Structure 1
Amino acid sequence: MLALALVYFAAGRLGLSVATVGGNVSPMWPPSGVALAALVLLGPSRWPGVLLGGWAVTFSTGVPLPVSLGVAVGNMLTAVLGSLLLRRVGFDTRLGRIRDVVALCAGAGALCVGVSSLVGALSLVLGGVLGWEELGSSVWVWWVGDLMGVLVMAPPLLLLRQVGRPRRYGEATLVAGLTTVLGAGIFFLPGLDASASHAATFLLFPMSAWAALRFGAAGAAATSLAIASVAIAGTARGQGPFSSGSVTQDLLVLQLFIAVTSVTGLLLAAASDERKRAVEKLQLLATTVRGVHEGVLIAEVRAPGSLRTVFANEALQGLVGRSLGELTGQDPCVLYELEPELRQRVRAALLAGEPLCAEVLLSRKDGTSRWSEVLLSPVRATGEDVTHFVATHRDITATKELQARLVAAERVAAVGTLAAGVGHEINNPLAYLVLNLETAARSLSEGGLPGMRDALSGVRGALEGAERIRLIVKDLQVFSRQGDQDRGLVDLNALVPPAVRIVSHALRHRARVVEEFGPVPRVLGSEARLGQVLLNLLVNAMQSITEGSPTLNEVRVRTSTDESGRARVDVVDTGTGIPAHVLPRIFEPFFTTKPSGEGTGLGLAICQQIVRAHGGELEVRSEPGRGSVFSVLLPAAPVQVTSAPVRQPSSPPALPASRTRRGRVLVVDDEPRLAQSMRLLLEPYHDIVTTTRGGEALALVAAGHRFDVILCDLQMPEVDGATVYRRLCAQAPEQAERVVFISGGAYTAESRQFIETVPNRVLEKPVRPEVLMATVDNALVEGSALVEPEPVAAVGGSRH
């Protein structure tokens, strides 16, 4: 504080050397800048040093003690208020921001020095040192002098800690030398014309700008201090462009020149520093965006709902298999394989300028696709209007594949839980099928009319057993399909009975099952996935009920339409219920309260995932000891088709006699007994040729044989049904049109795609006899005979 007081005193004596009002008021007051810089750097607690120095310098002029104390208090308050204000606004002493320059010049400078000018001038007037008529001029000159001290002296002192040897030492020396020489020439060169000297002062502005742009705030502050020192010294001696004979007036005008030079230099340096930092941040951001593992795409909004790609990082380029040149200028939406519903959501987000998170399928240049989780974020760079969208992509292809495996594993787990019951359901009809066939065989061997009647009764019983087995296998096929390849209109009323039949045997020892069907709209989705949801919910309901009291417990499956028009399926049980502390966690993956070996903790999590993927919701209500209600809510499909009511299967009808002409039929199936069965069924009405190999069937056609109908199995070794069809299309197109496929199930992606695209009819095994005969009859009615019927040798050694 003593050192501060001494420096303040020395700077004050320098300022008083050009005092113009009563020997105590100077238009140039360096101590104001010294005091402000000291309290900013050292802290406001050093204010006694400012007070002591201010009192000493004023008292040294012969002013009475009370007056000098008043002047000192005013100077001290200006410095304290200025330092507190700068701390309040987060002032940075490096002066690298425009806001810091404005805070220093306008806040701590123009605003706070008003305190010292007013308090100091009043103290001098009240103490009798100045007259009242001099109060106005004293306040004005005092304010200008203190302001110049802040603008000229404070910046270099604040920057003193940051100043080191400049990296461009030669350039710094050149700037300093030119500024000094030019300033000395303008303000000390005698005989210079007034107009020429005024014009020459403008040459100092490029010096200040040069120093500010090349050396920052330190260069600008040093240049301003040098210009101010030379200009004040010259003007005080009556030289330079601002000399007019009145020292007070000349110095006041000079201060305006110094203020403009100083503030301009500081602002220019701050703007340059801010630009440098902005460029560095932009380069850092660009480097970071280019280097991140997630794909980043930036698109410019050209018109509402219209985008144009302006940037894509290397990760996104690798994700879509395209270069930056191929992506720039294109609409990014062309990369997405969007379903209509998702396309509508994306368009709505673009028009509304709202963020969107979705899973999309990206089209690669090589024709393949990758799953990506995209986060679409709007950017308002120029105000409230959205100018750009940033799309962040994360490759989730591996995650989707893992999810598919988990779904398949959970499906297997659910069916595995019911394996014993399904086996029992098959064994029952299989048992009486075998018994009825044995009875029929024995009755036929005995002969006679009673034996024929017993044989016919046994065969009918066998047919009923076979029909029950066919329905069980069909129900299992619904839940064994993979993925979403079969997305279409799904009737939930038709989907509930298969799920109930599969779980019914295991459930009948725990509770009675009630099916309650109501009007329900069709939904757009995967029959296999939604069937898995129902099956999992039924298994979950079954496991919540203990065995032993089936008459006291109930599992009810209810379909309806909710108030908003959505399809609703409720699975209601009277089991143990779910405790309140467990209820919020039941949809977490791998969370289970079941004993080890009885649950994977994935069932409900996968159910929720499937329902959400269909745009729906899975809700649960439960009360411990009174059961639970799981509700599946799905949006109705945009296009509805009237569905037939759910009907229970009935006994197979009697076989009708063929109502068409006798035709020639080729049966191609790798199972000899099945081919033989179809031959026995059709032979009374048509000429039948059988073969167990696709290649032999092609050889028959190549040899010139023509058939009215070709019944061809899809899954065969060596040459399968799809290959037979393709070769027929190339060699004998008219025979390819006659093919009717018989499939035991499409287990590969290729076979599923073939079934979906082939125009021919596809029958599912096991084919009911009346369906097979009707299909052959319809094929004969739709087309004329290709050749006259004649006996043809059957492949494999038999002749028909």
Structure 2
Amino acid sequence: MVGIQELRRPAVLALRTLAVATCYYAAGQLGLLRRLTVEGAVFTPIFPSTGVAVACLLVFGLGCWPGITLGAFFLVLSLGPPELDTVGILIGQTAGPVCAYLMLRRVGFRTDLSRLRDGLALVFLGALTGMVVSSTIGVATLVLAGKLPAHSFWPTWLAWWTGDAMGVLIVAPFLLVLLGARWPPPTARWKEALALAVVAAVLVPAATYSSMSALFLVYPLLTWAALRFRLAGSMPCALFTSIMATVAATDRVGAFSGLSRVEVMLKLQLFNGSMALTALLLSALITEQRNTRLSVEEACQELAEALEHLTAHDTPAARAPADTKEMRPERGER
């Protein structure tokens, strides 16, 4: 039995590494379907692979990092033959999610995102701070390899950083909610969930493709989803909205028509960031308040049961033997 377990462990690790690499590669290919060009550098407004990487690290632990590196290698290989700068890009794409994971674990991050502090940690540590590592190493590698002029460092860095950060901010919470959801989901509110999906399918394309710049219309939708379904409703809506906005931005239509490439990037990333931030933090806050209310109700129920148990010993039936004994005359009084 010991020998079988020793053989099984490397097989499980190998399968896990292959699964992480496959998910990373597939998410990267989806992200590369829509690209923007800034200062001659091509980037993806949302790089889903970083969200997949952070989510895998949070679920499976630090041991899955080889899968991230392997997936990043095949993703770079799909864009062209490997060169010397490939090593630096692989280091950056692995180090960024790993640093994000270590910082999140340092502050006691919970994958169920049931506290406001978890949402804040994912935003400011996992997305904004952790992806500084991957973007800095990646862009510096391109400059040192002579593939990017030095004066284009900061515009390219900003585009790289925002793409990686949006991947963590939008994709990672969606995957964590998906992995932690109850299956099958409860059927009590299917009608409202279906209504939410229909409204999202109509409202989001209209807001992103409208020439009147009506992107603000998605915020009531996100508020509805967060109030009624918390993360399970708000994060799918945020992901769908981000995809539609990215498609409209890369096509330069709707709210993104008539803008320069830099303006399209800034407007898209500011919208994606504010929208995802609203959905994540509002849902986390509502979840935390709901859990606090349930804890208070449970404590009140336990207190009521304890008081009922104490008063049960102070009933007239319980006091009868003592009262009878007090009323019984002493033997010497007869």
Fold similarity call, TM over 0.5: yes
Residue of structure 1 in register with 2:202 after alignment: 181
User: Once the 2 structures are TM-superposed, how far is the Cα of residue 99 of structure 1 from its aligned partner?
Assistant: 1.2
The residue number in structure 2 matching 1:285 is 299
Q: 1:243 aligns with which of 257, 261, 265?
A: 257
CA drift of 1:92 comes to: 1.8
CA deviation profile, 1:25-59 (whole Å, cap 9, x unmatched):
33321111111111111221111111122223234
CA shift in 2, pair 1:60/1:19, >3 Å: farther
> 3-state SS of the aligned residue for 1:20?
strand
Show CA shifts across 1:335-384 (max 9, x none).
xxxxxxxxxxxxxxxxxxxxxxxxxxxxxxxxxxxxxxxxxxxxxxxxxx
- What corresponds to 1:684 in structure 2? none
Secondary structure class of the residue paired with 1:72: helix
In structure 2, what is the Cα distance between the partners aligned to 1:68 and 1:117? 14
Aligned-partner Cα distance in 2 for 1:56–1:129: 20
For the pair 1:203 / 2:231, whether they are aligned, the reply is no
Q: How far is 1:294 from its partner?
A: 8.2
Partner residue, 2:290: 276
1:173-208: CA deviations, max 9, x gaps? 11112112111112235xx3xxxx33x322211111
Partner residue, 1:385: none
Could you state the TM-score of these two structures normalised by the residue count of structure 2? 0.82
Quote how far apart the aligned CAs of 1:88 are. 2.7
SS state at 1:91 partner: coil
SS at match of 1:6: helix
Distance in 2 separating the partners of 1:212 and 1:287: 28
Query: Residue 116 in 1 paired to residue 134 in 2?
Result: yes
Normalising to structure 1: TM-score of the pair?
0.36
Instruction: Spell out, residue by residue over 1:230-284, the C-alpha distance to the aligned partner (whole angstroms, 9 max, x if none).
Output: 1110111111213333234213221111211112112221222222222212112
Partner-residue secondary structure (3-state), 2:256: coil
Q: Percent identity over the alignment? A: 35
Change (3 A) 1:149 1:20: same
Instruction: In structure 1, give the amino acid aligned to 2:44.
Output: S
Change (3 A) 1:292 1:77: same
Quick one: distance in 2 between partners of 1:252 and 1:180?
A: 25
Matched letter for residue 205 of structure 2? A
Which structure's relative contact order is higher, taking Cα pairs within 8 Å and 6+ residues apart? 2
Contact 1:37–1:157 at 8 Å: present in 2 too? yes
- What's the counterpart of residue 69 of structure 1? 87
Rg: which structure is higher?
A: 1
Task: Render the CA deviation track for 1:536-589: whole Å, top value 9, x for unaligned.
Answer: xxxxxxxxxxxxxxxxxxxxxxxxxxxxxxxxxxxxxxxxxxxxxxxxxxxxxx
Q: Secondary structure at the match of 1:27?
A: coil
Select the residue among 158, 174, 188 that pairs with 1:156: 174
Q: Higher helix share goes to which structure?
A: 2
| Structure 1 runs not aligned, ≥5 long | 296-313, 322-397, 400-716, 718-800
The CA deviation string for residues 485-541 of structure 1, in whole angstroms up to 9 with x for no partner, is: xxxxxxxxxxxxxxxxxxxxxxxxxxxxxxxxxxxxxxxxxxxxxxxxxxxxxxxxx
Q: State the match for 2:29 in structure 1.
A: 13
Matched, 1:78 2:92: no
Q: Please point out which of 58, 71, 77 is paired with 1:53.
A: 71
Select 2:190's aligned residue among 148, 169, 172.
Answer: 169
> Which residue does the alignment assign to 2:277?
263
1:218 corresponds to 2:235: no
**One of 122, 125, 139 as aligned partner of 1:107:** 125
Equivalent pair of 1:209/1:265 in contact (CA under 8 Å) = yes
Per-residue deviation at 1:166?
A: 4.5
Offset of residue 142 of structure 1: 1.0
Q: Is 1:98 equivalent to 2:112 in the alignment?
A: no
Q: Check conservation: 1:236, 1:247, Cα contact below 8 A.
A: no
Shift of 1:5: 2.0
Asked if the contact 1:74–1:117 (Cα under 8 Å) also holds between the matched residues in 2, the reply is yes
Distance in 1 (CA, whole Å) between partners of 2:266 and 2:19 is: 31
Structure 1 residues 676-714: Cα deviation after superposition (integer angstroms, max 9, x where no partner): xxxxxxxxxxxxxxxxxxxxxxxxxxxxxxxxxxxxxxx
Q: Spell out, residue by residue over 1:401-459, the C-alpha distance to the aligned partner (whole angstroms, 9 max, x if none).
A: xxxxxxxxxxxxxxxxxxxxxxxxxxxxxxxxxxxxxxxxxxxxxxxxxxxxxxxxxxx
Inter-partner Cα distance in structure 2 for 1:243 and 1:126: 35
Structure 2 counterparts to residues 604-619 of structure 1, below 5 A: none
Q: CA deviation at 1:320?
A: 12
In 2, Cα distance between equivalents of 1:269 and 1:64: 42
5+ residue gaps, structure 2, are 1-16, 323-333
Alpha-carbon offset, residue 122 of structure 1 = 0.2
More strand by proportion, 1 or 2? 1
> Is the Cα contact below 8 Å between 2:159 and 2:265 reproduced in 1?
no
Number of matched residues?
302
Name the CA distance, whole Å, in 2 between partners of 1:127 and 1:24: 16
